[in-house]
Amino acid sequence: MAPDAELDQTPGTPFSGTYSGFDAAVESMRDWMSAFEHFDAKPSDVIDAGEQVIVAWDESGTARGGSVELRETFYMLYTLREGKIVRLAWFADRADAFKAAGLSS
């Protein structure tokens, strides 16, 4: 990941917003994962979009201090330059990720 990378999280999620810089992006992801007693994410699909890659992530977990369970698929659009991630955009909807990458879903 590039030092000046940017993470754009899904609107409507607890950590939605844009995080600039490697440290801010990593901290945002740590905050998301620490909200869960148990958290797991596995890639289920990878789509080549030239200088971008879409990865479908199957996420599951149990909220810390409760019994609320998460089971969702999120889509990350990775923008690459010179072999490094310069931008990650997080989408709840596959069609939105494809549209942002300039692909038809």
Q: What is the pLDDT of residues 47-101, one digit of tens each?
A: 999 889 999 999 999 988 878 888 999 999 999 999 899 999 989 889 999 999 9
- Rounded CA separation 96/90 (Å): 10
- φ and ψ at residue 20, rounded to 5 degrees: -100, 135
pTM of the model: 0.82
Res. 14: pLDDT tops 80: no
Structure tokens at 96: 């939105």
- Residue 4 has phi, psi (to 5 degrees) of -100, 20
Place of tokens 């995080």: 19
Domains of the chain: 6-100 (3.10.450.50)
Q: Are 100 and 88 in contact (CB under 8 A)?
A: no
Look up residue 94 and give its DSSP letter.
H
- What order do you get walking across the sheet with 6-9 strand by strand? 17-20, 6-9, 84-91, 69-81, 52-63, 36-49
β-partners of residue 36 are 63
